[in-house]
Chains A and B, each alone.
With several copies, the nearest count.
Chain A
Amino acid sequence: TSQKHRDFVAEPMAEKPVTALAGIGDVLGKKLEELGFDKAYVVLGQFLVLKKDVELFTEWLKDICGANSRQAAS
């Protein structure tokens, strides 16, 4: 995993911004924030509501903010 991901999981998610998530840079982060997914925990919520299904979550992320496969996988 990337250093960014290791940093992220090293402490509670709390109110971390969505850009703290591995694979989410400024451009994707901005799009997600505009859609209301401004905090990492909201994106986590979406993953849980998609039953932790990585395929569905990846497809959702690509659809709503144009993430590519690598970013979505991260």
Chain B
Amino acid sequence: MSTLSTKSDHEISELLDDYGIKHGPIVGSTRTLYEKKLKEAMA
């Protein structure tokens, strides 16, 4: 899970889609939120 921060924005976006998490573009100001939501979903 800690590898999330090493993933590209595109990879994060694909993971969000895989986990069915609604999201907008992955940019500097939104990435932290989406990584947190992915960690919660993966847990």
Contacts and interface: CB of A to CB of B under 8 A. Distances in A.
Contacts of B15: none
A35 B25 contact: yes
Nearest to B10: A35
B27 to A, nearest CB: 6
Interface of B: 9-10, 13, 22-30, 32-33, 36-37
Contacts, number: 44
A36 B25 contact: yes
Nearest to B33: A60
A42 B36 CA distance: 21
A51 B33 contact: no
Size range of the interface on A?
A: 10 to 19
Nearest to B9: A35
Contacts of A60: 30, 33
A33 to B, nearest CB: 10
A50 B36 contact: no
A11 interface: no
Nearest to A35: B25
Interface in A30-73: 35-37, 42, 45-46, 49-51, 53, 56, 59-60, 63-64
